Each structure stands twice: as structure tokens, then as C-alpha cells.
Amino acid sequence: DAKTTQPNSMESNEEEPVHLPCNHSTISGTDYIHWYRQLPSQGPEYVIHGLTSNVNNRMASLAIAEDRKSSTLILHRATLRDAAVYYCILRDPPPNSGYALNFGKGTSLLVTP
């Protein structure tokens, strides 16, 4: 799988938007961009994923660059509960490639009141 690059850490104030960047310059045409997050003392949880177009769900928005070499996870109003490690992961769609995810180091998001 192609690799991703994320900042080690970011900080945000509560109730402000947060933009978490991810670079993936070697992304292939079939790679989907997945985001997961891991809250303290919990297993990772799915946040959002996309291929080419921007995506929105109840948790977040995913903005994908036109050349697909970067993407940004957007939390519209950060809450204290959003403090977590956020992982940007590239995956070929299952079932052909299996369900293994290559977690990198992720971005540790700190949210302050």
C-alpha cells in the first residue's frame, strides 16, 4: 500500500473547526482514502472514507485534492471528545485485497477548552 504522511500532533480549541492534513503523493488510482481515529483506551473507530470526491457524514468531512495527492479531514466543531489519534490510511477496495489496514503513526489531536 502507498504511504501517508501526517503531522505528529495538532492542537485545537473546543468548538472551532479542525483541519487534519494527510499527504499521499504515491497514491494509486484504485486507492481509497480512509480515516480512523482512536480515543484513549479504546480501539480505533471508522471516521470516513472517499475516492475522488469530497465526502460528508455525521462525524466529519473529507476534502480530497484534485490530483488526489493529499486530503484533509475536517471536524467542523471540535469537542473534547474528539481528542484522539487520527489515522489516514490508503486502501484498495475489498474484497480483493483483504481487510488489513496499514496504520501509520497518525496525528494526535489535542482539544483544549
Partner 1 sequence: KAGVTQTPRYLIKTRGQQVTLSCSPISGHRSVSWYQQTPGQGLQFLFEYFSETQRNKGNFPGRFSGRQFSNSRSEMNVSTLELGDSALYLCASSSAEVNTGELFFGEGSRLTVL
Residues that bind partner 1 (CB under 8 A): 32, 34, 36, 41-46, 49, 87, 91, 93-95, 98-106
C-alpha distance from residue 19 to each of 41, 78, 91 (Å): 24, 10, 22
Separation CA 9–CA 77 (nearest Å): 18
Burial of 9 (0-12, 13-18, 19+ CB in 10 A): exposed
- CB 74 to partner 1: min, Å: 19
Closer of 24 and 34 to partner 1 (Cβ): 34
Choice between 1 and 14, CB closer to partner 1: 1
How far, in Å, CA of 102 to CA of 79, rounded? 27
Dist. CA 35–CA 18, nearest whole Å: 14
Beta carbon of residue 62, minimum distance to partner 1 (angstroms, whole number): 13
For residues 67 and 99, which CB has a smaller minimum distance to partner 1 in the complex? 99
Shortest distance in whole angstroms from residue 105 CB to partner 1: 6
Shortest distance, position 82 Cβ to partner 1, whole Å: 18
